[in-house]
Structure 1
Amino acid sequence: MLMLGSSAFALAIPLIVLLITLVINARSFKDREKSSPFECGFDPSNSARLPFSTRFFLLAVIFMVFDIEIVLLLPVPLTSASIMTTNTLLGAGMFLFILIVGLLHEWKEGSLDWS
């Protein structure tokens, strides 16, 4: 009997909280200010749903890829002073080669031109 009362209480409290939340949310859901775009506390001067430049996005993605690859290459000179193996040099050289080939491909494709 005690377990049945505890279970009923455990189900009743979340249901009451859910109903209170729905009642409060119903009033503020139709608020005009919440449906308009926010622009630093001011009324937006233009539509906030304008498309952005895909060339800028492509350049930002390329920058991120090359930036991460440079970060991966950075520890190689620091660790090669203590452990200079041919596998380390060969791996870093191949990684750098792939990075340079990718850069040349993006350059030849024209993705790096800002015009």
Structure 2
Amino acid sequence: MNTEVPTLVLGAVAAAFGFFSLGLAALIGPKRRNRAKLEAYECGIQPTPHAVAGGPGNAAGQRFPVKYYLTAMLFIIFDIEIVFLYPWAVHADALGVFGLVAMALFIVNVSVAYAYEWRRGGLSWD
């Protein structure tokens, strides 16, 4: 039980800080509300109460490029893979040859995925 106490205390402090911050912001924050502030922000497009089935001339019903979302997903995937390098770098000497071979295979795997995305054009902004 003694080993979990610092983690529980840290969790309690984080939760207390979160609740305190929300309460303080609600207490001293601006209270002026108007219709424009209460509307959902939709990237400059006027929000409509229902979905619009648009044709070629209707901006609300047209397809939109998802390049930003694909790039964000690639960043998340490669970022998570690269995070695995930090523990290995800290304990590289203790892992020995097995750790070196495992990390070499991991880097080859990441490099193949990176080369595939680059060749496919997933990293270029058209």
Common topology (TM > 0.5): yes
Deviations 1:61-115, CA, capped at 9 Å, x for gaps: 000000000101121121013x041111111110000000100000000000011
* Count of residue correspondences: 77
- Higher-Rg structure is 1
Aligned to 2:74: 62
The structure with more helix, counted as a fraction of residues: 1
Unpaired stretches in structure 2, ≥5 consecutive residues: 1-34, 52-59
Report what 1:80 is aligned to.
92
Q: Once superposed, what is the RMSD of the aligned Cα atoms?
A: 2.7
Cα distance in 2 for residues equivalent to 1:58 and 1:90: 31
CA distance in 1, matches of 2:44, 2:76: 31
Q: Which residue of 2 aligns with 1:4?
A: none
Matches within 5 A, 1:23-102: 37-39=39-41, 46-48=45-47, 52-81=64-93, 83-102=94-113
Q: State which drifts further: 46-55 or 67-76.
A: 46-55
Normalised by the length of structure 2, the TM-score is 0.52
TM-score (norm 1): 0.57
Structure with more contact order per residue of length (Cα contacts < 8 Å, sep ≥ 6): 1
Segments of 5+ residues of structure 1 without an aligned counterpart are: 1-32
Return the alpha-carbon distance in structure 1 between the equivalents of residues 66 and 44 of structure 2: 23
Percent of aligned positions with the same letter in both sequences? 26
Superposition misfits of 4+ residues, deviation over 6 angstroms: none
